[in-house]
Every structure is written in structure tokens, then in C-alpha cells.
């Protein structure tokens, strides 16, 4: 049986619509899984049903994480947030951790994984952590800077090396790492670009965007493959 991967929806406040970038779904389909976009809801009963039915959870990119969730006042440079999505992801992530379901966080997904488990963020990288440009121009299927992969992390097995070139399109990033996460990759200017949760089957987040590069970059494809492989664990 193909594992079912639940994906948290992207939300367009202006159009009041749910939507999804095709790269997330196409990459998962290419790995022989069944991606399903979940409805945006805070109904705990509904969310627990979804997380029990799904074999894995993908937290995609999107709006900024609400700074109040990590104990900070909003900066003038913080972007739009989505409180409904923050609440939904918190409930789903708690359940996934408790049930030891595989979780892959991408961009905002890594940031939410970090803040929800006790870490903090730079609300605006250019002003709070000057260094590399982390907001590349399209196309996004190419590398613009390097990261160093930690050998002790599961990401090292996926990448197969301690150095890796990544794409980059974000204005927030991890400031203080969650006490229950470990760094998996660090950028040339010292930012944590990937993190994982030791002791769990597969909980990993990356700051870059493999959904844009999975067709051209074998490592991006291997990241999705490793996630789907973890989701094939016989949960039921």
C-alpha cells in the first residue's frame, strides 16, 4: 500500500482560499505516496482523525509564524501570519510527536517545528542577522549557497556528504534552537538550516525548498524518498 501523506494547506487571506504548490504533491507522488491536502481547521477531533489516518505529515512553507508563540512582540518587519494555521499545526505536530509519525517540515515548516518545541526565530534576517542573501530570484531549482551537514544527523545519510548546495527563499530563520531538536545543517553565515528530533522515527525540517528542485537535484528527491520510506512503517 502507498503511504498517505497529509499536507497542511496554504492559505490566501485576500482570496479566502486554500491552495497548494504542485511541487509538494508531485514530489510525493513521484515517491509512490498519496498526498492529501488537509482542510484548515482547529477542530481537535477532526485533526486527530486526520493524523491517525495519515502515515506522515508535511508542514510546507507559507506565512510567518506568529511571534507571540515564541514569547516575542511582533517586529515591524515581521510578515503576515496565519493564526488558524499556527493553531492547526500545533495540534497536528503534538499528535504526530506523540504517535511517532514521520514529519517533514519545509521552510516555515522547519520554523514552526522549532518554535512549537521551544525555540525562537529571527523575524527579519536582513536586519537581525546580516550575511548571505537568503531570498534568491527565480528560478528556484538551483543552488545559491552552501550548507554544512552534521554527520550525526539523518540528513547526512540522505545527502551523502558534509557539504551541499541549496536554494534559498526566506526572510525568517531559527535564532535559538529548540532544546529537543538537534542541528542537521548550518549555512555559511551560521544559520541553522535543518534540524531533527532525536529519539523519533523521522522528524526533520529543512529551510530550503526541495519541492522546487526535486526534478533537477537528486538530493532533493532523496529527501522526499526518505520521508516516504519512513511513512511506510506499519503504524496501523
Which of these is catalytic: 116, 170, 209, 225? 209
Q: Could you tell me which residues are beta bridge partners of residue 230?
A: none
CB 150 within 8 A of CB 182: yes
- Among 107, 134, 170, 225, the active-site one is 107
Catalytic residue among 66, 150, 193, 211: 211
Dihedral sign, Cα of residue 208, residue 213, residue 219, residue 222: positive
Query: Is position 145 annotated as part of the catalytic site?
Result: no
209 is catalytic: yes
Residue 150 appears among annotated catalytic residues: no
Task: Show which residues are catalytic.
Answer: 107, 209, 211
Amino acid at each position: 500500500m502507498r503511504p498517505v501523506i497529509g499536507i497542511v494547506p496554504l492559505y490566501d487571506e485576500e482570496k479566502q482560499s486554500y491552495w497548494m504548490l504542485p511541487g509538494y504533491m508531485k514530489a510525493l507522488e513521484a515517491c509512490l505516496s498519496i498526498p492529501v491536502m488537509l482542510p484548515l481547521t482547529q477542530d481537535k477531533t477532526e485533526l486527530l482523525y486526520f493524523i491517525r489516518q495519515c502515515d506522515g505529515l508535511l508542514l510546507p512553507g507559507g506565512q510567518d509564524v506568529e511571534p507571540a508563540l515564541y514569547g516575542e512582540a511582533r517586529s515591524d518587519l515581521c510578515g503576515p501570519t496565519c493564526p488558524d494555521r499556527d493553531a492547526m499545526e500545533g495540534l497536528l505536530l503534538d499528535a504526530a510527536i506523540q504517535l511517532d509519525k514521520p514529519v517533514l517540515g519545509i521552510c516555515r515548516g522547519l520554523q514552526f517545528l522549532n518554535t512549537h518545541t521551544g525555540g525562537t526565530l529571527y523575524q527579519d534576517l536582513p536586519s537581525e542577522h546580516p550575511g548571505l542573501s537568503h531570498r534568491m530570484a527565480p528560478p528556484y531549482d538551483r543552488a545559491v549557497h552552501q550548507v554544512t551537514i552534521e554527520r550525526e544527523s539523518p540528513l547526512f545519510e540522505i545527502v551523502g556528504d558534509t557539504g551541499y548546495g541549496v536554494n534559498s527563499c526566506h526572510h525568517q530563520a531559527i535564532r535559538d534552537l529548540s532544546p529537543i531538536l538537534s542541528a542537521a545543517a548550518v549555512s555559511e553565515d551560521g544559520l541553522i538550516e535543518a534540524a531533527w528530533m532525536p529519539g523519533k522515527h523521522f522528524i526533520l525540517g529543512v529551510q530550503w525548498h526541495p519541492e522546487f528542485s526535486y526534478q533537477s537535484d537528486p538530493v532533493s528527491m532523496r529527501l522526499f524518498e526518505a520521508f516516504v520510506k519512513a511513512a511506510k512503517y506499519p503504524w496501523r
